[in-house]
């Protein structure tokens, strides 16, 4: 049996868990096993229908008075109970913060090894996995000695697709929790205004380097970032000169980012900067030097001085927004 740990937020299904279910279904099909899922918390039963459509035979629902919010140890305890009861050969979860966390607790409780961030799993003895290291900069092949095989899956390894012939039967149970299993439980903080977009999560980053010229030179970058709902990034030269705070530094010694759009203004493209922004989906470079190193990583380039090009872009963008 392949057991997938499915995450939800008070009944709202985690999309990435569906990818894990889809991958779990393929594993189960290959070995001729059944595909089950575990959801933790009574309010998780609402996701059973969707799981059935994705081929889950039985949806185990761990219901417990204390399980009102996310409680990682309790979740792992429930998982170990189901895995033992059903004789699971593989326990799978999404390689999300919660998926990895619960799986690690399960590994600690059962004293079994865990392979996190896998891109491929071949059950067996040992189970052979291929997993990401260094945030995907390296790929590792490894043997996982232990049963069940505890693995998490790198997000977007497969696309979530309905399929299979699972009934999605509900099997609610009350997990036996040990003392302290509910000691660590999430208390949602009161909703609050977020002060801008964080660099690591930003969808759009307008980043400046030496070519911006001064702290004051960042004014048009800020304006464009605001227009695009993004945030400011910068190179090491900039923080070194004290033009911007270190929190905004993109690169090997700063933050590694993967925005949808990275606009590199006056950045030559030192190796250490590239290391932080090479995962941008689209990169636009504004630079006076058509031979700058960063050109080799960019999708689009404007040759010119940042202080002259940016105001024109801002004006154009405002027009476009105004409709």
Chain residues 272-291 in contact with another protein, contact rule CB under 8 A: 272, 275, 281-285, 289-291
Does 187 participate in binding another protein (rule CB under 8 A)? yes
Which is it for the CA torsion 87, 147, 61, 108, positive or negative? positive
Question: Of the candidates 24, 55, 107, 123, which one interacts with another protein according to CB under 8 A?
Answer: 107
Peptide bond into 126 cis (omega under 30): yes
CB contact set of 9 (below 8 Å; sequence gap of 6+): 70
CB of 320 to another protein, least distance (A): 5
Q: Report if residue 178 touches another protein, rule: CB under 8 A.
A: no
Of residues 42-81, those binding another protein (CB under 8 A): 70, 72
Q: Report if residue 309 touches another protein, rule: CB under 8 A.
A: yes
Q: According to the binding rule CB under 8 A, does residue 159 interact with another protein?
A: no
Q: Does 188 bind another protein (CB under 8 A)?
A: yes
- Interacting residue with another protein among 83, 88, 234, 298 (CB under 8 A): 298
Contacts with another protein by CB under 8 A: the residue count is 104
Supply the DSSP symbol for 249. Answer: B
Does residue number 184 form part of the binding site for another protein (CB under 8 A)? yes
Q: Which of residues 5-24 bind another protein (CB under 8 A)?
A: 9
Among 65, 165, 191, 195, binds another protein (CB under 8 A): 191
**Minimum gap (Å) between residue 172 Cβ and another protein:** 25
Pick 29 or 132: Cβ nearer another protein: 132
The answer to whether the beta carbons of residues 93 and 153 sit under 8 Å apart is yes
Nearest by Cα to 286 from 272, 270, 307, 271: 307
d(C-alpha 90, C-alpha 83), whole Å: 9
Helical (H) or strand (E) element with 116: strand 114-122
Q: Which of 65, 159, 194, 195 binds another protein (CB under 8 A)?
A: 194
Report the residue number, 32 or 180, with the smaller CB distance to another protein.
Answer: 180
d(CA 272, CA 169): 52
141 in contact with another protein (CB under 8 A): yes
CB of 29 to another protein, least distance (A): 26
Reading phi first (left if > 0) and then psi (alpha if -120 to 50, else beta), residue 71 is in beta
Contact call for residue 246 and another protein (CB under 8 A): yes
CB of 24 or CB of 259, closer to another protein: 259
Closest to 287 (Cα-Cα) out of 278, 300, 273, 271 = 300
Q: 92-123 as b/e, with b when 16 or more CB fall inside 10 Å? A: bbbbbebbbbbbbbbbebbebbbbbbbbebeb
157 binds another protein (CB under 8 A): no
């Amino acid at each position: 049996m392949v057991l997938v740990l499915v995450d939800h937020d008070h009944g709202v299904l985690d999309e990435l868990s569906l990818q894990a279910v889809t991958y779990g279904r393929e594993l189960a099909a290959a070995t001729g096993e059944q595909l089950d899922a575990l959801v933790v918390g009574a309010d998780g039963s609402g996701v059973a229908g969707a799981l059935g459509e994705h081929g889950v035979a039985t949806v185990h629902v761990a219901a417990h008075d204390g399980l009102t919010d996310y409680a990682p140890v309790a979740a792992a305890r429930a998982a170990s109970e189901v895995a033992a009861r059903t004789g699971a050969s593989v326990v799978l979860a999404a390689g999300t913060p919660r998926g990895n966390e619960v799986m690690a607790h399960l590994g600690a409780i059962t004293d079994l090894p865990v392979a996190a961030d896998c891109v491929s799993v071949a059950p067996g003895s040992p189970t052979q996995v291929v997993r990401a290291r260094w945030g995907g900069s390296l790929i590792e092949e490894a043997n996982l000695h232990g049963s069940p095989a505890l693995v998490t899956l790198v997000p977007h390894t497969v696309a979530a697709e309905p399929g299979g012939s699972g009934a999605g039967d509900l099997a609610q149970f009350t997990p036996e929790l040990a003392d302290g299993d509910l000691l660590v439980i999430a208390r949602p903080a009161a909703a609050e205004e977020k002060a801008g977009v964080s660099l690591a999560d930003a969808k759009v980053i307008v980043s400046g380097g030496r070519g911006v010229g001064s702290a004051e030179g960042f004014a048009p970058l800020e304006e464009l970032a605001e227009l695009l709902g993004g945030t400011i990034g910068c190179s090491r030269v900039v923080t070194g000169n004290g033009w911007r705070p270190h929190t905004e530094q993109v690169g090997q010694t700063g933050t590694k980012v993967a925005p949808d759009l990275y606009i590199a203004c006056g950045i030559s493209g030192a190796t250490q900067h590239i290391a932080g922004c090479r995962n941008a989906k689209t990169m636009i470079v504004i630079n006076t030097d058509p031979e700058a190193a960063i050109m080799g990583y960019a999708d689009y380039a404007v040759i010119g001085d940042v202080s002259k090009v940016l105001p024109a872009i801002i004006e154009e963008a405002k027009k476009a927004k105004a409709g």
